[in-house]
Amino acid sequence: MENIVGYFEFFMIYTVLVIGKAALLTIPVLALIFLLRATLFRSHVFGRGFLWMLMLLVPFMGKMKWFYESIAGWRIFFWQHELCVTFPWICSVYVGGMVGFFLFFVRRRRKLQKTVRGFMRVEPVSKERLLELGGRFAGRTDIRACDYAVTPFAVGLLHPVIVLPRNFLEKYSKEELEVILLHELTHIRMLHLWYYFLWDVLRAMFWINPAMLFATKYIRLDLELICDCVCIQKQNGQAVSYGMLILKTARVLGNRPFPERMPAFAGEKEFRGMKERIRRIAEYEPYRQKKMMAVSCCVVAVFLGVLMGIRENSYPKYTRIDTVSFYSEDFRQLMMSDEQELRDAFWYRDGRVYIDWNQMNPILNAHGIRENSFYLGFGGFVKLPGVGGGCNAIFVERASDGVAEIPYVDNEKLPMTRLAEYF
């Protein structure tokens, strides 16, 4: 039981050391994104959308060697390492909050999906026309009508569903409904629903940073602007009629509040961002689709390259410890070494340690070790500097010559140790 508690504490500390450093990095990354949104990419709708990909890199940055092997990283972030190691209960609080937020987001999504499944299926346009609008992405997409005053929205990752207010079927023409469906199908086709899901995961991981909540509405606004731009392009640049359709939607829905059972992300609550959307629609300029596809491929290639660079400059899952340690009976460290001469005098296999005292004694004497009995530690792994485990230790009675054979329980082969290595 004591070992299980110890490993649980190890998992908590290691998790918060990695995720906690990444959470601290969200502050400068978000600051950079908002700075670039307001300056260099102020008028670039697609560029502002690409900027948010920087946040997807942050979870992979918590094990970078820079934190421990540079003076700046050590001075800026060492306090976090000391805090987690000294007060493990803080790590439990952080992990508990992370799990709590994740369960909250999962529960909210499941509640929404359950509600949507209760809505009636409708076909405001033919299936052929729907496939024409959304391509293969429309093949597994249902359209359902609800009695709530919500803007149309899409939900579902593997089997997306588009939800329309029932009065839209009466107040909108077939052509207008096609544009509305095109907008939601564009969200699905451009994988925005998946990005919303990943953003919820990031919000759960980095819940301690309130700026994550603040950034949510800006992410949704930027993705809406991208969707508007794509839809106008597909409507042959009819920006005026597209903008009028959005204004008509605002008039049809009025100022009625969303029902409590519908999560805020299901639509633009109280039409937030409407002013920005209308302004962008008025400034619409056509783009070259092939050029945009090439730029998107380049952005993805750069993203993957940076991700690989982060991985190359991060610590691996674990590193074997090759050093051998000697401790006195009162646990004072006597010596730590990985010299080849020591390895020739000491080896272990199949649950037994072998010590050649003819070679070991000169080594101990050379290091000033005179004790007749001591602890010998070997093996184990390290995941981050100062964070590891699985070490074996045996009590040794010194002999004058010969080869000693000492049985021991190999901690490195225990299931919890293996789990800790690959965690």
Of the pLDDT bands very low, low, confident and very high (cuts 50, 70, 90), residue 93 is: very high
Environment class of 402 (CB within 10 Å of its CB; exposed 0-12, middle 13-18, buried 19+):
exposed
pLDDT tens digits, one per residue of 44-59 = 999 999 999 999 999 9
Tell me if 182 sits within 8 A of 231, measured CB to CB: yes
Environment class of 206 (CB within 10 Å of its CB; exposed 0-12, middle 13-18, buried 19+):
buried
Of the pLDDT bands very low, low, confident and very high (cuts 50, 70, 90), residue 272 is: low
pTM of the model: 0.84
Ranking 125-134, 149-158, 365-374 by mean pLDDT, the lowest is 125-134
Q: How large is the average pLDDT for residues 17-40?
A: 94
How large a percentage of the chain has pLDDT more than 90?
32
Environment class of 412 (CB within 10 Å of its CB; exposed 0-12, middle 13-18, buried 19+):
middle
Residue closest to 218 by CA, chosen among 30, 27, 54, 25 = 30
How large a percentage of the chain has pLDDT more than 70?
93
What whole-number distance in Å separates Cα of residue 274 and Cα of residue 378? 65
pLDDT of residue 262: 41
Q: How large is the average pLDDT for residues 55-67?
A: 93
pLDDT of residue 256: 52
Of the pLDDT bands very low, low, confident and very high (cuts 50, 70, 90), residue 348 is: confident
> Which of residues 250 and 212 earns the better pLDDT score?
212
Tell me if 28 sits within 8 A of 58, measured CB to CB: no
**Which H or E run includes 326?**
strand 324-327
> Which of residues 250 and 332 earns the better pLDDT score?
332
Instruction: Sketch the domain layout of the chain as residue ranges.
Output: 2-312, 319-422
Q: Where are the beta strands (DSSP E) in 156-277?
A: 161-165
Residue 281 scores a pLDDT above 90: no
Tell me if 150 sits within 8 A of 258, measured CB to CB: yes
The full 3-state SS of 390-422, as one line of letters, equals CCEEEEEECCCCCEEEEECCCHHHCHHHHHHHH
What whole-number distance in Å separates Cα of residue 410 and Cα of residue 380? 10
Most confident listed range (40-44, 56-60, 76-80)? 56-60
Residue 264 scores a pLDDT above 50: no
Of the pLDDT bands very low, low, confident and very high (cuts 50, 70, 90), residue 3 is: low
**Which H or E run includes 392?**
strand 392-397
> Which of residues 334 and 201 earns the better pLDDT score?
201
pLDDT tens digits, one per residue of 168-188 = 888 888 888 888 999 999 999
pLDDT tens digits, one per residue of 363-422 = 888 888 888 888 888 888 888 888 877 788 888 888 878 888 888 888 777 777 777 777
> Which of residues 9 and 36 earns the better pLDDT score?
36
Q: How large is the average pLDDT for residues 285-299?
A: 90
Q: How large is the average pLDDT for residues 226-255?
A: 82
Residue 223 scores a pLDDT above 80: yes
> Which of residues 192 and 396 earns the better pLDDT score?
192
Most confident listed range (290-294, 304-308, 371-375)? 304-308
Q: Residue 216: how many CB atoms within 10 A of its CB?
A: 16
Residue 74 scores a pLDDT above 80: yes
